[in-house]
Amino acid sequence: MGQMRSSLDVVGLERLAARGWRAPEEDHLGEWLLRAAQGFTSRANSALVAGDPGRPLPEAVAAVERWYDERGLRPCALLPGVQSRPADAAFATAGWQRDEPVLVLTAPVTGFPPPPVPIDLRPAPDASWLARYRPGGAPLPPGALEVLTRGEELVFASARPGPTSAEPVAIARGALVDGRLGVTALDVDERYRRQGLATAVMGALVHWAAARGAHEVYLQVTAGNTAARALYRRAGFIEHHRYHYRRRP
């Protein structure tokens, strides 16, 4: 599959990704985006530090802190690319702790082979999809369904081991925004790994998006997830940028 450098810059892609994984509560601090979702996922419960907060950085850090304190959430900031380095220094000065890097990868939608097994695609997650999705191994908390189902054009993919199987063994979520497909919630039952199911559900999402005019797909993966990074590299993804979170101790 051919590689293609995304036409969006770091801030543009992060803001687009925020529209594909939306928190129930959003607010702005200048150009920064504040998000809260009862603690479900770091992305939906962090300040997207992109652009100008409209005030000196130490004051912006304090404002972010107050906003999350008021909601009973641990203050968290997502800091993408080199543009966030001055803000990152301000959060570090305030004692906020840094998490491991996350890679944002992109690929053109062309070149993905059709999935070799049947993939069920639905506009909303059913009970079996939700039962399969357990980030961190825990059942979904309150507020998760609202995050999962907020978006402009969504699709939920499931692969089952047989035609009569009720429970999916591989799932993924796709969100189409402005011609770009965001792939999230990709999960494969450990008993069925290394059988091509992750590639199959991802391919089904890409073909769904291409039929709707998409030209690019993006996803996020932690730097330490070497198995997933190898899978995405084989699928033709290249690194667009990195980000990391900072959290108040």
Burial class (CB in 10 A: 0-12, 13-18, 19+), 100: exposed
pLDDT on residue 13: 97
pLDDT on residue 191: 82
pLDDT on residue 1: 45
Q: Which residues contact 162 (CB under 8 A, 6 or more apart)?
A: none
Average pLDDT over residues 56-73: 98
Of residues 245, 247, 249, 248, the one with CA closest to residue 43? 245
Burial class (CB in 10 A: 0-12, 13-18, 19+), 124: exposed
Which pLDDT band, with edges at 50, 70 and 90, does 30 fall under?
A: very high
Average pLDDT over residues 180-192: 90
Measured distance CA(154)–CA(165) in Å, rounded:
24
123 pLDDT exceeds 70? yes
Measured distance CA(180)–CA(209) in Å, rounded:
8
State phi, psi for 177 to the nearest 5 degrees.
-135, 120
Residue with tokens 């770009």: 180
Q: Boundaries of CATH 3.40.630.30 in the chain?
A: 106-242
Q: Which residues contact 241 (CB under 8 A, 6 or more apart)?
A: 10, 13, 80, 81, 104
Question: Identity (one letter) of the amino acid at 109?
Answer: V
71 pLDDT exceeds 80? yes
The domain 106-242 is placed in CATH, from the list 3.30.1360.120, 3.20.20.70, 3.40.630.30, 3.40.50.1220, at: 3.40.630.30
**Which strand (E) or helix (H) includes residue 78?**
strand 76-80
pLDDT on residue 5: 60
Q: How far is CA 140 from CA 148, 187, 232, in A?
A: 11, 14, 26
74 pLDDT exceeds 60? yes
Average pLDDT over residues 9-26: 97
Which pLDDT band, with edges at 50, 70 and 90, does 116 fall under?
A: confident
Neighbouring C-beta atoms of residue 95, cutoff 10 Å: 10
pLDDT on residue 139: 80
Average pLDDT over residues 35-43: 95
pLDDT above 70 coverage of the chain, percent:
96
Neighbouring C-beta atoms of residue 157, cutoff 10 Å: 27
Average pLDDT over residues 159-175: 85
Neighbouring C-beta atoms of residue 123, cutoff 10 Å: 9
